Structure 1
Amino acid sequence: MTLDPAAVERFRRDLRAALRSEVDGAILALAVSGGPDSMAMLALAHAAFPDRIVAATVDHGLRAAAAQEAAMVAEHCGLLHVSHATLRPAAPIGGGSIQARAREARYALLLTWALEERAVALLTAHHVEDQAETFLMRAARGSGVAGLAGIRPRRDLTGSDGGKLALVRPLLTWRRAELRAIAEASGPFADDPSNRDPAFDRSRFRQLLADSPELEAGQIAATATYAAEAQQALDDVTALLWKNRADVSEGCVAIELGDLNRELRRRLARRAIGHLLARPFDADNIEPLLDAFEAGKGATRAGAMMSVRGNFATFRLAPPRRSH
């Protein structure tokens, strides 16, 4: 099947914009599950960048049909003369939050594979409706600006051996229906029944969007884009404040926080703790620490000890707990 040249050019343009660079001559790694969205991405990438794509399918071992779907993708890639790999976790995925665990395993496998293929980017097929679902899920959980920014067009991944790769979502402005139409015209695909299973949060929010005409996915996705722009602006302000206000010495960070609003205090405190821990820090709830600062009291949180003097907060690593 010959794709609409306008669609192919749109994909080429969107990928370059998301990757923020030219891709001439580079290898592109595609995560292809076998669903209509990723099969449409495969068709578009094959038309836009012939002889420069490789594809992989992850079989998490959670559904009996997954092996057949991976085989279907492999067969179709063979017809397109696209190199394909089926990736499987070394150990079964289990426990609570199984979708989150599966996602972690999936990206770890895909990152290792893509680096081995010497690809410049790993592409996934997230689209407008995925973005809208993510925004609603995070809003329902009380997320801040960073969470409401949703799925980013690009973020950098780092492998266990230090290798780096761009994770790119070139379809974030494409609608599910137009991708399905491309998939239907291009070859086989499979519908994953777990996408309709109400046991999973995303499935419930997907149904909410389908049942609520007033919740227009495109408008919600646009709001996520605005939140991402606001997040970038806050990141820039935080970097400037850190440069001008943070006094960094060995094992200690002192920052003037008193005249800043709570969000900027939150960001600078997280950066200070991350500096002391020598790793990015964003998971722990530091609201009690901010409450203590506003009360003029010291506090300990996430392995860091804060003391307060006037408008200044000084952060040090907390001493190890004594064992008895």
Structure 2
Amino acid sequence: MQLDLPARFAADLGALWPEDERSGPLGLAVSGGPDSLALLLLAHATMPGRIAVASIDHGLRPEAAGEVALVERIAAERGIPFTPLTVTLAPGNVQAKAREARYAALAEWAQEAGLGAVATAHHADDQAETLLMRLNRGSGLAGLAGVRASTTIDGTDVVLLRPLLGWRKPELSAVVEDAGITPALDPSNTNPDFDRARLRARLDEADWLDPVQIAASAAHLAESWQALNWYAELDWHEMVMRDDSAPGGLGYTYCANVPRVIAIETILAIIAALGGHATRAEAARAWDRLWAGENASLGGVLAVPGVERVEKVGVMMRVWRFRPEPARSLN
């Protein structure tokens, strides 16, 4: 391994996870493919004795058990603690359900093992593919931000890191090759039945596109999304008031005076506070109706628009009242 690569990895990891914030070992999700094996090798060279490895069998391919065994052997040769994980997928979109099950298993492993964070091997090429796929689907800012360099696993406080987002896939493959390791190759990565595989093939042909720069754009979008979230939280605290006079004593009044993209996040927060759930697309449609002066119903919540004088600001404003949707009559 080139001498500068561990230093580069250490810098990238340190930017996401400073030394003084580390409360336990770094857990690595390693599939046996070239990207995650490079993550293992770089982390081991950078912080030996302070990492642990898990490999997941999703039960989708007979080769998966052998890939887990490959990772176990490589970890054992380096004295790295290893945990095999097996998941059962819920019905539905296979790739989406596999992702949900994988992260849930990693979170449970991290909590049981006392890990400080979990890292995955997403790299610049992955990020570029994600951004282009979501652009093609008309995604909003939340989707265009791509995979986050640092976040938490959904529903938990387990820190999730992606320190390789500035690295190209060929660089990572070279790390594994230099170590004399033959990685496992997942055939789904080149299966044209999957959108990502088709896009990956096209990107390989478009040598004028720079995945690192595309990934950098995704990082800029992520910063914009973080700023929007900050403003939405401020909007929640400043412009949303609990309404105990609502039927059942549970409701919220929202003084809607911010750009639509921020109001959508506030609407989602109100729906969640009332025990409901809605998508951003549903919240966007609700905003359109409310702004036009029409009632909106979403996530089991009824929203009624109006214009009132708001005492705290002393002006007339759009005021939207949210309450649980009345039960429908069966007659």
Could you say whether these structures have the same fold, taking a TM-score greater than 0.5 normalized by the shorter chain as the test? Answer: yes
| Residue 149 of structure 2 is aligned to residue 142 of structure 1 | no
What's the secondary structure of 1:81's corresponding residue?
coil
What's the secondary structure of 1:313's corresponding residue?
strand
Aligned residue number for residue 254 of structure 1: 253
How far 1:88 sits from its partner (Å)? Answer: 0.9
How far 1:21 sits from its partner (Å)? Answer: 5.0
Aligned residue number for residue 11 of structure 1: 9
C-alpha contact (below 8 Å) 2:123/2:167 kept by paired residues: yes
Distance 1:29 1:276, change over 3 A: same
Alignment partners' CA distance in 1, 2:72 and 2:164: 22
Aligned pair partner of 1:109 in 105, 110, 114: 105
Any residues of structure 2 matched to 1:158-307 within 5 Å, and which? 164-186=157-179, 187-250=181-244, 251-257=250-256, 259-277=257-275, 282=279, 285-307=282-304
Aligned pair partner of 2:305 in 308, 316, 324: 308
- Identity across aligned pairs (percent)? 39
Alignment partners' CA distance in 2, 1:44 and 1:86: 21
What's the secondary structure of 1:100's corresponding residue?
helix
Alignment partners' CA distance in 1, 2:154 and 2:185: 31
Aligned residue number for residue 67 of structure 1: 65
- The root-mean-square deviation of aligned C-alpha atoms, in Å, is 2.0
Alignment partners' CA distance in 1, 2:121 and 2:328: 47
Distance 1:220 1:143, change over 3 A: same
Structure 2 unaligned segments of length 5 or more: list them. 245-249, 308-317
How far 1:254 sits from its partner (Å)? Answer: 1.1
Alignment partners' CA distance in 2, 1:25 and 1:168: 14
C-alpha contact (below 8 Å) 1:284/1:302 kept by paired residues: no
How far 1:295 sits from its partner (Å)? Answer: 1.7
How far 1:132 sits from its partner (Å)? Answer: 0.3
C-alpha contact (below 8 Å) 1:16/1:22 kept by paired residues: no
The one-letter code of the counterpart of 2:237 is K
Indicate the larger mover: 286-295 or 20-29.
20-29
Alignment partners' CA distance in 2, 1:232 and 1:137: 21
Alignment partners' CA distance in 1, 2:281 and 2:200: 29
Alignment partners' CA distance in 1, 2:160 and 2:139: 23
How far 1:24 sits from its partner (Å)? Answer: 5.9
Question: 1:31-84: per-residue Cα shift (whole Å, max 9, x none)?
Answer: 000000100110011111111111111111111111111111111111111111
What's the secondary structure of 1:277's corresponding residue?
coil
Indicate the larger mover: 63-72 or 18-27.
18-27
What's the secondary structure of 1:287's corresponding residue?
helix
Distance 1:25 1:230, change over 3 A: closer
The one-letter code of the counterpart of 2:165 is L
Alignment partners' CA distance in 2, 1:321 and 1:71: 56
C-alpha contact (below 8 Å) 1:16/1:23 kept by paired residues: no
**TM-score, normalisation: structure 2:** 0.89
Structure 1 unaligned segments of length 5 or more: list them. none
Aligned residue number for residue 153 of structure 2: 157
What's the secondary structure of 1:164's corresponding residue?
coil
Distance 1:300 1:41, change over 3 A: same
**TM-score, normalisation: structure 1:** 0.91
Indicate the larger mover: 259-268 or 290-299.
259-268
